[in-house]
């Protein structure tokens, strides 16, 4: 993703990497203003694509990107922004994540961010985090169809 300020088409979807630091909810609102929502990762191939894209722009170990996954309604029950439950066979949690750590926020960690500067075994790049912590984010929307390929507007 040479220019992360534009939508990029891939496999029938369009992705936008938002480099502004915002809370999870603010990030979601920003994605909606752009005609999409926070990304819902639906395949291993999509995870591979996104890991490769954000690795190009990760500068620091804390450089993480909000995705559209939360357990804010019920602790431990993870749902995507479209209301569908997380399919455990398609989860990419890093190490002991999710851990709902309460060290910085007594409310725990109810939103998911992805990214890692270094390598991670088997694409395990997801971390739960307090929804209020500002991070970059990944937006997604369906691609339109053009004469030869998917179109992102």
Q: pLDDT, tens digit, for every residue of 12-44?
A: 999 999 999 999 999 999 999 999 999 999 999
Per-residue pLDDT, 2: 44
Q: Please state the rounded mean pLDDT for residues 58-64.
A: 85
Q: Going from the N-terminus, what domains does the chain have, and what CATH number goes with each?
A: 8-82+101-143 (3.10.100.10)
3 state DSSP class of 53 = helix
Per-residue pLDDT, 5: 60
Query: Which carries the bigger pLDDT value, residue 64 or residue 120?
Result: 64
φ, ψ at 131 (rounded to 5°): -65, -20
The tens digit of pLDDT for each residue in 85-99 reads 999 999 999 989 999
CA torsion sign, 30 to 35 to 38 to 44? negative
Is the pLDDT reported for residue 131 higher than 70? yes
Distance CA 14, CA 46 (A): 11
Q: Are 44 and 123 in contact (CB under 8 A)?
A: yes
């Amino acid at each position: 993703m040479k220019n992360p300020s534009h939508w990029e088409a891939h496999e029938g979807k369009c992705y936008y990497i938002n480099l502004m630091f915002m809370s999870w909810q603010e990030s979601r609102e920003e994605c909606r203003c752009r005609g999409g929502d926070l990304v819902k990762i639906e395949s291993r191939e999509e995870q591979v694509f996104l890991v490769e894209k954000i690795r190009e722009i990760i500068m620091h170990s804390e450089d993480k990107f909000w995705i559209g996954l939360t357990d804010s309604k019920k602790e431990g029950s993870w749902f995507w922004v479209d209301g569908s439950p997380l399919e455990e066979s398609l989860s990419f949690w890093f190490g002991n994540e999710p851990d709902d750590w309460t060290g910085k926020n007594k409310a725990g960690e109810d939103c998911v961010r992805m990214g890692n500067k270094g390598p991670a075994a088997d694409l395990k790049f997801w971390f739960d985090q307090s929804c209020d912590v500002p991070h970059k984010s990944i937006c997604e929307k369906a691609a339109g169809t053009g004469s030869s390929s998917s179109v992102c507007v």
